[in-house]
Amino acid sequence: MKLSVFRGGFTREAAQQVADAGLRQLTVLLGKSLLRRDPNSGRYDIHELLRQYAEDHLTASPDHVSETRDRYCSYYVDFLHELEHDLFYGRQQEAISYIATDIENIRITWSWICQYAKAKEINRMFFSVFMGSMLLNLDMEALSMAEKAISSLEAVKSAEERDTALALALLLQSAMAMRLGQIEKAKLAGERSLQILDMLNLPSEFRSRLMYDPRFFLGIVYVIQGDFAQAEKMGEQKLRNHETGDDKFGLAAAFYVLMIANLVPRLLNVVGLF
């Protein structure tokens, strides 16, 4: 049963696209008590023991399991990519609710695409994973996800798609390490991410999506470490990256770094600590 690939439930759309299970087939399975349907959300799920039994039968056929997992990953990569705009600029609460509901499927998708170092898929779902992790306070889990991606990508040959994915995974590592107070790890990951991104000739529209880029987190890290000149440099560079477009959020992030780089040393000076 291909539906056994799902974790934590699934929608009718997901069942159709991943397992070719239309409404008629789902209704038959419901009638046989092989599926349950939540009347409020409309989501389906399978009892875990039944799911494991069905999964054992699916994995007995390597070709079927490979095809099903590919379709499963493609569905959730596209699902997250489509939520990106809402997470940054639109219906953020609704988008976060979708991510929280499907978090188990998202975890499995990330794990599988990292296992095979699928850089294109990592890049496509990255921004939603990044924002979702921050807004749901999944710092420790996201740090582990970042490190899994880094380990996998470092094992494959350098190419633009792979290098972009590696830089983004390092950015995620830097952001989550900073939020967890692992400042030196955040600094090293951020500096490496920035070095890779600066070497890549990425289009301006991609850079504009990096509202929270390595310079933002490095700016904060440098302030924490007392390197205010370097923090101000990060803010100035970030400001130049965003001032030519209509990216108000990116500009706000740049101004934030510049503000703390200048305000914190003045406050420390007032209290006699700088």
- Binned at pLDDT 50, 70 and 90, residue 241 comes out as confident
% of the chain with per-residue pLDDT over 90: 72
Domain that holds residue 20: 1-60
- Which pair of structure tokens corresponds to residue 108? 């499995």
State the chain's mean pLDDT as an integer. 90
Q: Is the pLDDT of residue 245 over 90?
A: no
pLDDT of residue 60: 78
Q: Is the pLDDT of residue 143 over 90?
A: yes
Are both 149 and 219 inside the same structural domain? no
> Which of 187, 220, 245 corresponds to the end of one domain?
187
Is 136 within the bounds of a domain? yes
Are both 133 and 245 inside the same structural domain? no
Are both 66 and 183 inside the same structural domain? yes
Which has more confidence, 234 or 249?
Answer: 234
Is 135 within the bounds of a domain? yes
Would you put residue 58 in left (φ > 0), alpha (ψ -120 to 50) or beta? alpha
pLDDT of residue 55: 79
Rounded distance between C-alpha atoms, residue 114 and residue 84, angstroms: 20
Is 140 within the bounds of a domain? yes
Q: Where are the alpha helices (DSSP H) in the chain?
A: 12-19, 23-31, 48-59, 62-89, 92-101, 103-115, 119-135, 139-154, 160-179, 183-199, 204-208, 214-225, 228-242, 248-270
Mean pLDDT of 157-170: 95
Query: Which of 183-197, 237-251, 254-268 has the weakest average pLDDT?
Result: 237-251
Rounded distance between C-alpha atoms, residue 149 and residue 93, angstroms: 27
Which has more confidence, 208 or 121?
Answer: 121
15 near 33, Cβ under 8 Å?
A: no
pLDDT of residue 265: 86
pLDDT of residue 117: 94
258 near 235, Cβ under 8 Å?
A: yes
Is 96 within the bounds of a domain? yes
Mean pLDDT of 244-264: 85
- Binned at pLDDT 50, 70 and 90, residue 267 comes out as confident
Are both 67 and 55 inside the same structural domain? no
Mean pLDDT of 197-215: 75
Mean pLDDT of 229-238: 94
Q: Is the pLDDT of residue 273 over 70?
A: no
Mean pLDDT of 245-265: 86
Q: Quote the DSSP letter at residue 180.
A: T
Are both 66 and 171 inside the same structural domain? yes
Q: Is the pLDDT of residue 271 over 90?
A: no
Which helix (H) or strand (E) is 37 found in, with range?
A: strand 36-37
Per the structure, the count of domains in the chain is: 3
- Binned at pLDDT 50, 70 and 90, residue 252 comes out as confident
Are both 55 and 68 inside the same structural domain? no
Are both 75 and 150 inside the same structural domain? yes
Is 121 within the bounds of a domain? yes
Are both 97 and 168 inside the same structural domain? yes
Is 132 within the bounds of a domain? yes
Are both 47 and 27 inside the same structural domain? yes
- Binned at pLDDT 50, 70 and 90, residue 203 comes out as low
23 near 12, Cβ under 8 Å?
A: yes
Is 192 within the bounds of a domain? no
Are both 123 and 238 inside the same structural domain? no
Rounded distance between C-alpha atoms, residue 254 and residue 234, angstroms: 8
Q: Is the pLDDT of residue 105 over 80?
A: yes
Residue 204 to residues 3, 208, 241, 243, 245, Cα–Cα distance (Å): 40, 6, 9, 12, 9
**What's this model's pTM, rounded to 2 decimal places?**
0.90
> Which residues sit opposite 10 in a β-bridge?
44
Mean pLDDT of 128-135: 93
